[in-house]
A and B are shown apart, each in its own frame.
Chain A
C-alpha cells in the first residue's frame, strides 16, 4: 500500500540575486531555483533525486523541510499542510523530518563534542542532559557503528566516513520519519561510500524511514532508490520507478544523463557508440524559453521553443514533461 508521506504541489523557490548595491540601487534579477514542482514521496520508500549541478536539488530538499521558505506552492506532510504554519507549530514537525549533508567536514560543529552534537536535537525537544540522554545517544552511536568511547571526542578526531556516521546519528536520534539525504555519500571514497549506503539501508529497514536521496551519481541512486525523479534547471522532468527509468527513460534529458555515465567495463566504452548531448547547462538566471532542455535536446521541435511541456502521466506511475510523449 502506498500512502504519500510528503506531497509537494506547485512548489517554487525564486531567489533575488545581484541586487543590493549602495542603498539597494542595483536591480535584482530573479533566479528560479525550483519552479512549479509537484511530486509525492510515499511512506517507507526512497525517492532518488538526480540532476546536474545547480538544477535545484538541494533547494528542493531544503524546501520540503522548510529550512527555506517557498515562494509559492504547498508542502503537505502526512496529509497536513505545513507550508504556512508558525515557528512553534513547525517545531512539532521538525521531530519527524531531518537532513543529512554532503560535506562531512562542514556538517559538524567543530567546538562541540560528539555527545553534545547528537544530543542537541533531544535537548531542543525538551530532554534534560543527563544519564537518560546519554544512554539514548550511546545507543544511537552503536546503531551507526561507532563505539561509545567516541562520545567525548571532537569532530576533528574522525575520518570522513566516521563523521558521516555522526551526522546520521544526529539525524536519527529523534526517530524521524523523513530524512533528506543531500549528497550524503558523494564526498566519500567509494569503499567508504558503500559502508554508508549499507548503513542507510539497514537503518531504513529497522526504523521504517522514508528517504529523499539527492545525489548526482546515477548508479548509487539506482541502488538505493525505489523511484527516481530527474531535475533539469529547476523543473522535475521525469519520475518513474527505478527499473523503468534506467531501462526505458522517456525524457531526452534522462536518456542523455544515463548515456553519459561512464561504462562499468572497458568492453562497453561509450565513446562513439552512445549519443552525447552537446553544450553546457544554460544559466539558471536566464533559462531557455519553452522547454528548458531545448537548447541541448537532439529531438527539439518548433513547439518546444514556445511552450513548456507539463509533467504528465505517460504510463502508470511514469510521469514525463516532454512534447514528444504528449503527441
Chain B
C-alpha cells in the first residue's frame, strides 16, 4: 500500500480577480522509504501542493476545490483540524525554505524541540531534554547539550536548517516534506544537508518529499521525480528516466538550460518567455506559448497525463512522436 496517495488535487485561491487555481488535478503517490522529488520553477505550485497535503493553507482564501489526500489509509482532506493536528508531527512533518522565519526567535532551540515532542508524547522534563539532545546530535550539531539553550539568532543558516530538521524528526514522522530545504544555503552547506536527509532516510526508512527548483538537488536525492509547470504535473518518472529520456518539451528545456560543470557550451539553450501567473494561464497546454513544438491543436485542450513508458507518464500531445528513439 502507498503511504501517501494524492488524487486529482485542485487548490484554489480567492484573489482580487476572482478565484484562481494555484494547482490543478495533481496526482501522485509515495511509498515508505521513497524519496519523491518535485521540481518546477517558482510559482509552479510546488509549495501549494505541499501545504495542501499538510492542511496548512489558510481557508479562506485557499480552498481544496477537488481531489483528495490519503495518508496511511486516512482521507486528510475530510479530516477535522483536531485530527489533522495529530497527524502533523508523528505522521507528516515539514521543513521550510527559510529557517530563520520558521523558528521562533524568543525561545531557545531546545525549548522549541521539546515543545514539539511534548505535544505528542508524555515524557518527563529530563527525558524530553535527552530526546532533544539526541535529535540535535543526529542532525549533526556539535556539542548538542551546550547548544540546546541557544537562540535561533545565535546559529548559522545551516545550523538553523539542521535544527528545523531536528524538530521535524522529533516525532519520528513517516513522511517528511522538505520545501526547498537548501535554497537559502551555500553549496557546501547544501551538500551537508542533502547528505543528512539521505542518511536519515536510510536509517529510519521514512519517506521524503523534496521540493526544489534545482535539477541538481533532484539528481542527488530523488528516487522518483514529478515535474510541475503552471500548477499541473506535466511529467512523472524514475529519476534516471527523467535525466536520460525526458519526454516533455519543458522537462527537456529545464535540463538543457543549466550550464555544465565540465563541458563548454557556446550558448545556453533558453526557454523563451516566462511562467504565466495563475490568473493569466493560456488555454490548452500551459506550456504552448513557450514550446517550440507547439501546434495549433495544443492550445485547444489540456493534455492529460498518459503512461507512455513503464512508470513514466507525461502530459503532452506530441510526446510519443517527439520521443527519442
Contact = CB atoms under 8 A, between A and B. Distances in A.
Direct contact of A and B (CB under 8 A): yes
Interface of A: 52-53, 159-162, 189-195, 197-198, 201, 216, 218-220, 222-224, 246-247, 256-271, 276-278, 280-281
A191 B220 contact: no
Given A194-B257, A262-B190, 11 more contacts: A189-B41, A191-B254, A194-B270, A198-B268, A201-B267, A257-B188, A262-B191, A263-B216, A263-B219, A264-B258, A280-B159
Nearest to B140: A278
Contacts of B41: 189-191
B188 A220 contact: no
A264 B272 contact: no
Contact of B195 (A53, A190, A222, A271): A271
Given A197-B268, A266-B239, A280-B159, A192 B274 contact: yes
A212 to B, nearest CB: 18
A261 to B, nearest CB: 6
A203 to B, nearest CB: 13
A22 to B, nearest CB: 22
A223 B159 contact: no
29 contacts: A52-B188, A52-B189, A159-B274, A160-B274, A190-B258, A191-B290, A194-B258, A194-B268, A197-B259, A216-B186, A219-B258, A219-B260, A219-B261, A222-B259, A223-B259, A223-B264, A246-B262, A261-B187, A262-B191, A262-B219, A263-B219, A263-B220, A264-B216, A264-B261, A265-B219, A266-B220, A266-B239, A271-B198, A276-B191
Contact of A257 (B42, B187, B254, B258): B187
Contacts of B290: 191
Contacts of A52: 186-189
Interface of B: 41-42, 156-159, 186-192, 194-195, 198, 213-217, 219-220, 222, 239-240, 243, 253-254, 257-262, 264-265, 267-272, 274-275, 290
A226 to B, nearest CB: 12
B243 A222 contact: no
A190 B261 contact: no
B219 A268 contact: yes
A192 B222 CA distance: 24
A269 B220 contact: yes
Nearest to B156: A280
A220 B158 contact: no
Contacts of A201: 267
A220 B259 contact: yes
Contact of A194 (B198, B216, B269): B269
A106 to B, nearest CB: 17
A260 B191 CA distance: 5
Contact of B243 (A194, A266, A270, A276): A266
Nearest to A242: B264
A258 B261 contact: yes
A265 B243 contact: yes
B47 to A, nearest CB: 14
Contacts of A224: 259
Interface centre among B192, B217, B257, by most chain A C-beta atoms within 10 angstroms, is B257
B156 A223 contact: no
A241 B243 CA distance: 30
Given A189-B213, A195-B272, A260 B253 contact: no
Given A266-B240, A280-B159, A189 B270 contact: no
Contact of B188 (A192, A195, A277): A277
Contacts of A271: 194-195, 198, 220
Nearest to A274: B191
Given A265-B219, A266-B239, A269-B220, A194 B271 contact: yes
B148 to A, nearest CB: 18
A245 to B, nearest CB: 11
A278 to B, nearest CB: 8
B192 A218 contact: no
Nearest to B42: A189
A246 B194 CA distance: 22
A319 to B, nearest CB: 22
B45 to A, nearest CB: 14
B259 A219 contact: yes
Contacts of A190: 41, 213, 215, 254, 257-258
Nearest to B217: A262
A262 B220 CA distance: 6
Nearest to A278: B192
Contacts of B42: 189
Identify the 7 closest CB pairs spanning chains A and B, nearest first: A262-B216, A223-B259, A194-B270, A194-B257, A191-B271, A52-B186, A260-B191
A97 to B, nearest CB: 26
B260 A264 contact: yes
A262 B269 contact: no
B71 to A, nearest CB: 27
A191 B262 contact: no
Given A261-B261, A266-B239, A270-B191, A281 B156 contact: yes
A79 B189 CA distance: 40
A267 B220 CA distance: 9
A179 B77 CA distance: 53
B243 A260 contact: no
A265 to B, nearest CB: 5
Contacts of B187: 52, 216, 218, 257, 260-262
A17 to B, nearest CB: 15
B158 to A, nearest CB: 5
B219 A264 contact: yes
Contact of A260 (B188, B214, B222): B188
Contacts of A264: 215-216, 219, 258, 260-261
Contacts of A222: 259-261
Contact of A246 (B258, B261, B265, B274): B261
A269 B219 contact: yes
A262 B243 CA distance: 14
A161 B274 contact: yes
